[in-house]
Structure 1
Amino acid sequence: MKKFLLASSIALIFSQAAFSQEQKEELPKSRFESLTKLTQVIGTVEKYYVDDLKLQEIVNKAIKGLMEELDAHSTFLDKKSTKEMSIQTNGEFGGLGITVGMRDGALTVISPIDGTPADKAGVKAEDIILKIDNKSTLNMTLEEAVGLMRGKPKTKIDLTVVRKGENKPLKITIVRDIIKIDSVFAKTINKNLLYLRVTSFDKNVASGLTKALNEHKNTKGIILDLRNNPGGLLTQAIGTVDLFVNSGVIVSQKGRDATDEEKYYAKSSTTLTDAPMVVLVNGGSASASEIVSGALQDHKRAVLVGEKTFGKGSVQAVLPIVKDRSENIKLTIAKYYLPSGRTIQAKGITPDVIAYPGKTVSGKDNEFQIKEADLKKHLKGELDKVSKVTKKTKDDKKTKDDKKTKDDKKVITKEDIAKDNQLNSAINILKSLIIMNK
């Protein structure tokens, strides 16, 4: 019992030492009672729990539980998680290529990243992951799930998912690979329209878009495709908007203190084009994608086409909790607000023109089919035919080879347009904008 009493005493002394005598007199007694209760629980668990847990393990579990109870994006990053985050930030890691999040307690795919193993295997936005291999995701934390899905390249993993419109869970086999993300793709449509696809907002997006715009200075109109883009760096979102908007607020963020507001502005010196624009979004467009699309919409710089976006408008900061920064907490510290003052969090962006995925009248099956997101968790104050997914036939290989050939081209073909109703709608709207702009 000595260890228990000692731990309680140390915690109480530590908490009191942070305040002056005057502050201690003003602070409510409940604050010290709460801190004492916490240390009492830790001491009790350390002494009486059925398994022999070290104090550090107990403290880590306590921190982890606290972060999970705050919101869907705050989390405790232990040494392993901190290392994994660092690897991912560098843009190359062994994994599947999907962005996941917790929605109403369920592990949900926000979006697969173009060209990655998950995308090629058929994982879709809004798929709910029930099992990772044979492990149930029930009560599994986001960090635990991500850790299980990452692994050595060329190793297999099975995801059992629930998908809207399917009567039975689907079992999808994916082969892990090194994830290298090409974030910007540029193609032309009918020679005079520029199609820009941004898959995620990594550190190369603004420069990639700048290069594409400089190579197509005479374009008459631009389609910016942000569908299934899970977000990324705020700086790149700001830099993207800055290429198309020459003045005004791009985005602002506010923390607990409403007066502590930080605003980011567009600069005319970085604006590259005033050509008419259409932006494509859907339920897999999140975070930085919503900042870009929302800012362009508020500035009346582009027409948004597609489906309502994900609704992730909160700001997280990685804060060290040990001196060597090997352990951290990722904490939600603010919310994003668009130029008009509206919030993204839990609301998302509603397009100016609603267009659903699928084929056009003369088209075939849609390769880009995405389903609209439901209400996302927000801050409050078995497989039908396995061969369809996993069996590699000659026909499957031919289809993949054909798709690769198309993707390698720098032109969007009529066949591509016929298979993508949202893109077809965007092109028609853009043509109208060009006529109106003359």
Structure 2
Amino acid sequence: MRLSLWTATFIVFLTLTVSIGPGNATDGSGRFESLKRFSQVLDLVERYYVSDVSRDELMEGAIRGMLQNLDPHSAFLDASEYREMQESTSGEFYGIGIEITQQNDRLMVVAPIADTPADRAGLRAGDLILAVDGKPTQDMRLDESVSRIRGPKGSTVDLTILHEGENTPKTVTIERDAIPIISVKAHELEPGYLWVRLSRFSERTTSELHDAIREERKRGPIKGLILDLRNNPGGLLDQAVHVADTFLSKGTIVSIKGRIENNNRDFKATAQANDVESPLVVLVNAGSASASEIVAGALRDHKRGLLLGERTFGKGSVQNVIPLADGSGVKLTIALYHTPDGTSIQAEGVEPDIQLPFVQPAKDEEGKPSHPFGVMREKDLARHLENGKDKTPDKSKRDQDAIESLARDNQLRMGLQLVKQLPRLQAIH
């Protein structure tokens, strides 16, 4: 059994094993009356339904319906779906790189995974997927939607998308590709200022984060760090705890509380040699969900980092993935998690300290982002004269990805400005 904090189904499950106690026994007479009614309906379908349906199909459909009726994150996984879930935590899978959920019978994008076909096609958190290859998704099960969107590398899928805030849907054709499980990307924005983007919480996320920090420390001390959790839909609970622990030396990181008291648990931070004590800004948005919200909530409640961006998704439940003997599995919501100050963010999300919506960058006549900071200054002109004090590195020698990202990302630019000013602001406070 494994705990899950992933927002969308069939992507990732958690590695923390817990025991589920027996709970309260159901009243015997009521239980058998319900089973009798179910048996009667099963018999009627087998005897009179217009087409022949096997009992296995009927039982699987009944199980799926029972779990799906509980909440958007409980689900039955057949052997293929269970295997896909396992693969996606440690290897790679083929698809478009998108996390989805189902709300009010509508298929909604939680977040595109960074640098995947879905991300490059312009899909955004909050988009509605109205159809997959022309088939409407309104009455489509979530697992069926996932199966239709996934497919062999090089094949294509047509998605009919309605962007949040727009009235006219559009159809985009996306070519499927291998979706690697690389969860951490790091870029030096300026000497000593590190931008670390976490796209998910998979098995190697913490070690990848520590590797990135170690490489930056080889270049010199870390003056400030921007932890980017935007469009990160979650993943493994233990990885969320370890990532938060990287920036905390004590205190509660998260608490999980459910109906069965034996399953309740507090996760604590501990002092470690590789802890990061540099000024910290955390970027979040509506695509930051589940495990991302655990990290953001812990850093906010301990006043360890400044949260910048938009309110997060609001998925505050914990799932167990329980393997069954035939290779299938059950993903069952067993608890809610609470941030260190005791807050449940379920359906609420984490409110950033500074609200700053993402603004699509302006384009020049060639379709390229205009100047990253909106204004041009003398030092930005080609062949400008030096004053003898200008120690800013030549932009051509800097990380090109960082330069381009700063050019088109107002939240990242503000994050860099704030993380540079945090020591002074904290001293004033």
TM-score (norm 1): 0.80
Moved over 4 A (4+): 359-366
Give the superposed CA RMSD. Answer: 2.6
Q: What displacement does 1:115 show? A: 1.0
CA shift for structure 1 position 410: 6.5
Q: CA deviation at 1:145?
A: 0.3
Query: How far apart are the structure 1 equivalents of 2:400 and 2:202?
Result: 22
Please give the alpha-carbon distance, in whole angstroms, between the structure 1 residues aligned to 2:406 and 2:96.
Answer: 28
CA contact (8 A) 1:254 1:334 kept: yes
Alpha-carbon contact 1:316-1:334 (below 8 Å) kept: yes
| 8 A Cα contact 2:256 2:264, kept in partner | yes
- Choose the corresponding residue for 1:412, options 386, 402, 407: 402
Q: Select 2:240's aligned residue among 213, 237, 242.
A: 237
Aligned amino acid, residue 327 of structure 1: S
Q: 1:78, 1:412 → 2: CA distance?
A: 42
Q: Does 1:358 align with 2:359?
A: yes
Q: Contact conserved, 2:363 with 2:369, CA < 8 A, in 1? A: no
For 1:243, what is the secondary structure of its paired residue?
A: helix
Superposed, 1:200-349 pairs within 5 Å as: 200-217=200-217, 218-257=221-260, 260-269=263-272, 271-321=274-324, 323-324=325-326, 326-349=327-350
Task: Measure the CA separation in 2 of the matches of 1:203 and 1:31.
Answer: 41
2:247 aligned counterpart, secondary structure: coil
Aligned counterpart, 1:193: 193
User: Could you tell me the TM-score, scaled by structure 2's length?
Assistant: 0.82
State how far apart, in whole Å, the 1-side matches of 2:115 and 2:406 are: 19
Structure 1 residue identity aligned to 2:421: S
Instruction: Specify the SS of the correspondent of 1:289.
Output: helix
The residue type equivalent to 1:422 in the other structure is Q
Q: Is the 8 A contact 2:369 2:407 kept in 1?
A: no
| 1:433 is aligned to 2:427 | no
Deviations 1:298-321 (A, max 9, x none): 111001000000011111111234
**Paired residues, what number?**
375
SS at match of 1:269: coil
More relative contact order in 1 or in 2 (CA 8 Å, sep 6+)? 2
Q: How much does 1:31 deviate?
A: 2.3
Give, in whole Å, the separation in 2 of the partners of 1:270 and 1:177.
Answer: 39
* Whole-Å separation in 2 of the counterparts to 1:30 and 1:184: 51
Per-residue deviation, 1:365: 5.3
Separation of aligned partners in 1, 2:214 and 2:287:
29
Q: Unpaired runs of 5+ in structure 1?
A: 1-22, 369-405
Give me the whole-angstrom Cα distance separating, in 1, the residues matched to 2:358 and 2:296: 19
In 2 relative to 1, CA 362–120 (structure 1 residues): closer, same or farther, beyond 3 Å?
Answer: closer
Q: Deviations over 1:251-296 (max 9, x none)?
A: 1111113575211111102552211100000000011110011100
Matched, 1:424 2:413: yes
> For 1:179 and 1:260, how far apart are their aligned partners in 2?
34
Q: Distance in 1 between matches of 2:133 and 2:318?
A: 32
Q: Indicate conservation of the 8 Å contact 1:241/1:250, yes or no.
A: yes
Deviation at 1:212, TM superposition (A): 1.6
CA contact (8 A) 2:132 2:148 kept: yes
Deviations 1:185-244 (A, max 9, x none): 111122121111111111111111111222223011111011011111111111101111
Q: Relative to 1, partners in 2 of residues 1:359 and 1:32: Cα closer, same or farther, differing over 3 Å?
A: closer
The structure carrying a bigger helix percent of its residues is 1
Q: CA separation in 2, counterparts of 1:54 and 1:176?
A: 34
Residue in structure 2 matched with residue 70 of structure 1 by the alignment: 70
Q: Which residue of 1 aligns with 2:140?
A: 140
Q: Distance in 2 between matches of 1:142 and 1:279?
A: 31
Give 5+ residue unaligned stretches, structure 2: 1-23, 373-395
- Counterpart Cα distance in 2 of 1:226 and 1:328: 29
The answer to whether the 8 A contact 2:90-2:203 is kept is no
Structure 2 counterpart of 1:423, which letter?
Answer: L
Question: Is the 2:188–2:399 Cα contact (8 Å) retained in structure 1?
Answer: no
Q: Give 1:168's aligned residue.
A: 168
CA contact (8 A) 1:219 1:275 kept: yes
The 8 Å contact of residues 90 and 181 in structure 2, kept in 1 or not, is answered as no
Distance 2:338 2:166 in 1: 36
Amino acid aligned to 1:434: P
Determine what percentage of the aligned residue pairs are the same residue. Answer: 44
Q: Give, as a single letter, the amino acid of the residue that structure 1 aligns with 2:176.
A: R
